[in-house]
Structure 1
Amino acid sequence: MQHKMRQTISFGIGAVGKDMVYALVSGFILYYYNTVLGISGTFTGIMMMAARVFDAFNDPLMGVIVEKTNTRFGRYRPWIFTGTVTNALVLYGMFAMPESVTGTGVLVYASVAYVLWGVTYTMMDIPFWSMIPALTSAGRERENLSVIGRTSAAVGYAIPTVLTMLIVVRIGGSERQGFALFAAAIAVLFVITELICVLGIREKAIPAGKAPTMREMFGALLANDQAMVVVVGIILFNASLYLTTQLALYFFKYDIGNSDLYSLFGTIGGVGQILSMVSLPVLRRRWSSKTILTGSIGVTIFGYAFLFVLGSLGSSNVPLLGLAAFIIYIGFGLATVLTTVFLADSVDYGEWKTGRRNESVIFSMQTFVVKLASAISVLVAGVGIDLIGLDTEAAVQTAGTLLGLRVLMILVPIAGLLVSIFYFRKKYALTEEMNRRIAAELKERREQ
C-alpha cells in the first residue's frame, strides 16, 4: 500500500512538471512568435502544421523504440529522464532567441527550435502516459490513476496559464527578456519534478522475449479500431479547446480591453477543471463514461455561448467572465480524464483482438494527436488573425476585427465540439460491460 501511494504521488508530480512545459508552449508560442518576435501568424501556423507531419512518423516510431526498450532501469524511466533534460534545454533556447538573430534567421531559428522541442517532448511524454495500463488493471484502479495524473497535469497546466503574462511583463525589462527568464524557471522545475517521478516509480520486470517488428506493431495499431476512434475524438475535442487558448490573450487584450483578466480567466477555469476531474469517481457511480462525456461537452458548449454573449456586449464584468471560464473548463476537465481512460481501455481491447498490447505505440498516438490538435489550433488562429486584420501594433481594433476574433475563439470551437461528440457516440463501442468481459477473457488467456 505504501509503495502504491509513493508511486501515485510520484506520477502526479511528474504530470505537474510536464504540463507546465506543455502549457507554456501550447498557450503562448503563437503570441511569442507573432507579437514579441514579429513573425506572421500565418507562417507560425503553417510551420507548426509541417512539424506535425514530421511527428506523424516520429511519434509512433518513438512508441516502437520504447516498446523495445529493456534496461536494468526499466522500460519507461530512462526515456522519461532523457527526454526531460533535453526538452528543458530546447525549451529555454526556444524562448531565448538571441537578439543578434535577424531577418530570415528569425524564421529558421524559430522553426528549428519548435521542431526540436516537439521531438524531445515526445521522448518523455510517450513513456510517461504508457505507464498507466502497465501499472494498473482495467476498471476503477485505472480510472483513479488517470484522474490523479490528469488532475495533476491540470495543476501544472494552470501554473503558466495564470502566471506567464503577469510575470513576463514585470521582469527582465521587456517581454522578450521576460519570456526567456520565465522559460528558464519552468525548465528547471520540469527537470526537478520528473527526477522525483523516475525515482519514485518502480517498474515491474519486463519479461524477456522477441520484440515485435515495426511492421507488426503498426499493423496491430491500425487493427485497433477503438484506439483510432479515441484518437480522432481527441483531435476534434482538443483542437476546439486549444483554439480558445491560443486566442484568449488577444480576446482579453483587444476585445475586453484588459489583458490582466486573462490570468484571472485561466485561474478560475483551472479551478473548475481540477474540481471536475476529481469528481469523476463520484459521477461514475451513477452514470456511464459515455454519458458523462456527452454531458461534459454539453456543459462546455453552454459556457462558450455565455462567453460569446459577454464579448458581444463588451462586458468586462469579472464575476460573469469568471463564471464562463468555470463552466467551460468543468467540461474540459472531465473529457480530458475520460479520453485517457478510453485510450487505456483500448490497449486491453487491442490485446484481446490482436494478441498484442502495444501500450507505448497506442499512447504515442495520444502524444501525437495532442500536438496535432495544438498545431491545428495555431494554424487556424494564426491564419485567422491575419485574415480578420488584427494589428498587434494598434491599441484599438475595428468592430469587424473584434467580431471575427469572437467567431474564431468561440463559435468555431462550438462547431468542433459538436462534431466530436456525435462522432464519438456513434463509433466508440467499449462499454463498461464489454471492458469487464475483455478483462476476464484476457485473465483467462494469461492463466492458460
Structure 2
Amino acid sequence: MSVVATERKVEIKVEEKNLSVKEKISYGMGDFGNGFMFDLGQLYLLKFFTDVAGIPAAAAGGIFLVSKLFAAVCDPIVGSSIDYRQNIGAKGKFRPYLLFGSMVLAILTVLTFISPNLSPAGKLIYAYASYMIWGIGYSFVNIPYGSLGASMTQNTSDRTSLAAFRQTGSLGALFVTSIAVVPLILLFPNEKIGYPVVMGIMSVIGIIAFYV
C-alpha cells in the first residue's frame, strides 16, 4: 500500500493597520519644516553672497558647485552611518535625527547668512566652510526623513499618500519662503542684520514643524 502525503501550504497574511490622516499630516510637516531651511539657501543665498557679503558672482557660483559635489560624496557616508547605527533608543532609528538635527540645521542655516568682517579672501573661505558644513547638517536631517516614510508602512496606498503629503509640505514651505522673506528683510535698515534675523525666524518655524 502506498501512502500519498499531500502538503498544504498555509499562507499567513498579516494585516497592517493603515496610517491615519494625522500620521500622514505629521509626516508632511517634516518636509514643510525641511523646506523652510533648504529653500532659504536655494532662493536667497546667492543674492546674499553677492549683494551683502560682496563676493563676486563667479566665485559665489563656485561655492554652490563645489558644495554640490561635496554633498554627492558626503550623502552616502551619512546614509551608511545612519543605517548601521547601533543602540537604537525609544525614539526609534530616524526620529532623533529629525528632532535634534533640525535644531542644528537651523543654527547652520543662520550662520550661512552671516557676513563676518573679514578680508575678501576670508569672506570667501567662510562662505565655503559654512555652506559645506550646512550641507552635512542637511544630509543628517533629509536622509533619515526620506527613509522614515518607507519604515512607517509597507502598504502601497499609504506610501503613495505619504509621498503626496510630503510634496504638499514642500510646496507649502516654498510658497511661504518665496513671499515672506524679502518683505521681512526690508523691515531692517541694514541687510547684514535683516538676513540672519529673518532666516532665524524661518528656521524656528522649520523646527516647530518637525515637532508637530
Tell me the distance in 2 between the aligned counterparts of 1:42 and 1:136.
Answer: 46
Q: Does 1:116 align with 2:133?
A: yes
**Alpha-carbon offset, residue 174 of structure 1:** 2.1
Name the SS for the 2:154 alignment partner.
coil
CA distance in 2, matches of 1:94, 1:127: 23
For residues 96 and 51 of structure 1, what CA distance do their matches in structure 2 show? 18
Contact 2:31 / 2:170 at 8 angstroms: preserved in 1?
yes
Aligned to 1:11: 27
Is 1:152 aligned to residue 169 of structure 2? Answer: yes
Question: Residues 18 and 155 of structure 2 are in contact (CA less than 8 Å); yes or no, is this contact kept in structure 1?
Answer: no
**2:97 alignment counterpart:** 79
Q: For 2:20, what is the secondary structure of its paired residue?
A: helix
Q: Is the 8 A contact 2:63 2:127 kept in 1?
A: no
CA–CA separation in structure 1 for the residues paired with 2:62 and 2:110: 23
Aligned to 2:119: 102
Distance 1:6 1:141 in 2: 12
Partner of 2:74: 58
Q: CA deviation at 1:136?
A: 2.8
Aligned-partner residue type, residue 131 of structure 1 = L
How many residues are aligned here? 194
Structure 2 counterparts to residues 231-270 of structure 1, below 5 A: none
Mapped to 1, the partners of 2:25 and 2:140 lie a distance apart of 22
* 1:184 aligned residue: 200
Three-state SS of the structure 2 residue aligned to 1:81 is helix
Offset at residue 64 of structure 1 (A):
1.0
Structure 2 unmatched runs, 5+: 1-16
Which structure has more relative contact order (CA 8 Å, sep 6+)? It is 2
Q: Which residue type is aligned with residue 95 of structure 2?
A: R
State TM-score, norm by structure 1.
0.41
Q: Do the aligned residues in 1 keep the contact of 2:184 with 2:198 (CA within 8 Å)?
A: yes
1:106 deviation in Å? 0.9
Which residue is 1:200 aligned to? none
Q: How large is the Cα RMSD of the aligned pairs?
A: 1.8
Q: Once the 2 structures are TM-superposed, how far is the Cα of residue 140 of structure 1 from its aligned partner?
A: 2.6
Worse-superposed segment, 21-30 or 46-55:
46-55
Cα distance in 2 for residues equivalent to 1:75 and 1:139: 22
Once the two structures are TM-superposed, the CA of residue 2 in structure 1 deviates from its matched residue by 9.4
Displacement, 1:3?
Answer: 6.5
Structure 1 gaps of 5+ residues are 197-448
User: Where is the helix percentage greater, Structure 1 or Structure 2?
Assistant: 1
**Stretches of 4+ aligned residues off by more than 3 angstroms:** none
With normalisation by structure 2, the TM-score equals: 0.84
Residue 38 of structure 1, CA deviation: 1.6
How far, CA to CA, are the matches of 2:26 and 2:202 in structure 1?
A: 18
